Amino acid sequence: MSNSKASETSRKVWALAWPIILTNLTSPLLGAVDTAVMGHLPGPQFIGGVAIGSIIFTFLFWGLGFLRMGTTGFSAQAYGADDPIEVRATLVRPLALGALLGAILILLQAPISAIVFPLIDASEGVTANAQAYYDIRIWSAPATLIQYGVIGWLLGLQRPWAAMATQIMVNSVNIVLDLVFVLEFGWGVEGVAAATLLAEIAGALLGLAIVYHTVRRMSGTWNWPEILRRDRLLALFRVNRDIFIRNLCLIAATSSFTAQGAAMSDALLAANAILINLQHFLSHGLDGFAHAAEILGGGAVGARDRSAFKRVVRSATYLTIASTLAISIAYAVFGTEIIGLFTNIEEVLEAAAVFLPWMIVSPFLSAPSFLLDGLFIGATRTAAMRNAMVVSLAVFGLACYVLVPALGNHGLWLSLMIFMVARAVTLGIAYPALERSISRPEAVPAQ
pLDDT digits (tens, 9 = 90+) for 367-412: 999 999 989 988 888 899 999 999 999 999 999 999 999 999 999 9
Query: Of the candidates 401, 396, 92, 122, which has an alpha carbon nearest to the alpha carbon of residue 249?
Result: 396
Of the chain, the percentage scoring pLDDT greater than 90 comes to 38
Q: What is the mean pLDDT of residues 15-31?
A: 69
Residue 83 phi, psi dihedral angles, 5° rounding: -120, 85
Report d(CA 386, CA 392) in Å as an integer.
Answer: 10
Report d(CA 282, CA 288) in Å as an integer.
Answer: 10
Contacts of 63 (CB under 8 A, 6+ apart): 244, 247, 248, 251
Angle between helices 66-80 and 230-264 (to 10 degrees): 140
User: Measured between alpha carbons, how far is residue 230 from residues 88, 152, 225, 236, 382 in Å?
Assistant: 16, 22, 9, 10, 19
Report d(CA 227, CA 195) in Å as an integer.
Answer: 36
Query: Of the candidates 247, 288, 301, which has an alpha carbon nearest to the alpha carbon of residue 69?
Result: 247
Query: In the chain, where are the structural domains located?
Result: 3-443
Reported as a single tens digit per residue, the pLDDT across 292-328 is 888 888 888 888 889 899 999 999 999 999 999 999 9
Query: Residue 31: is its pLDDT beyond 80?
Result: no
User: Measured between alpha carbons, how far is residue 430 from residues 209, 232, 283, 309, 397 in Å?
Assistant: 39, 25, 22, 16, 22
Report d(CA 288, CA 19) in Å as an integer.
Answer: 8
Asked if 298 and 156 count as a contact pair (C-beta separation under 8 A), the reply is: yes
Query: Residue 25: is its pLDDT beyond 70?
Result: no
* pLDDT given at position 447: 42
Reported as a single tens digit per residue, the pLDDT across 110-135 is 999 888 888 776 677 778 888 888 89
CB contact burial 261-281 (16+ within 10 A = b; e otherwise): bbebbbbbbbbbbbbbbbbbb
Per mean pLDDT, which range of 130-139, 272-281, 360-369 is the poorest? 272-281
Q: What is the mean pLDDT of residues 78-90?
A: 89
Asked if 345 and 39 count as a contact pair (C-beta separation under 8 A), the reply is: yes
Residue 218 phi, psi dihedral angles, 5° rounding: -90, 155
* pLDDT given at position 273: 83
- Mean pLDDT score of the chain: 86
pTM for this predicted structure: 0.75
* pLDDT given at position 28: 52
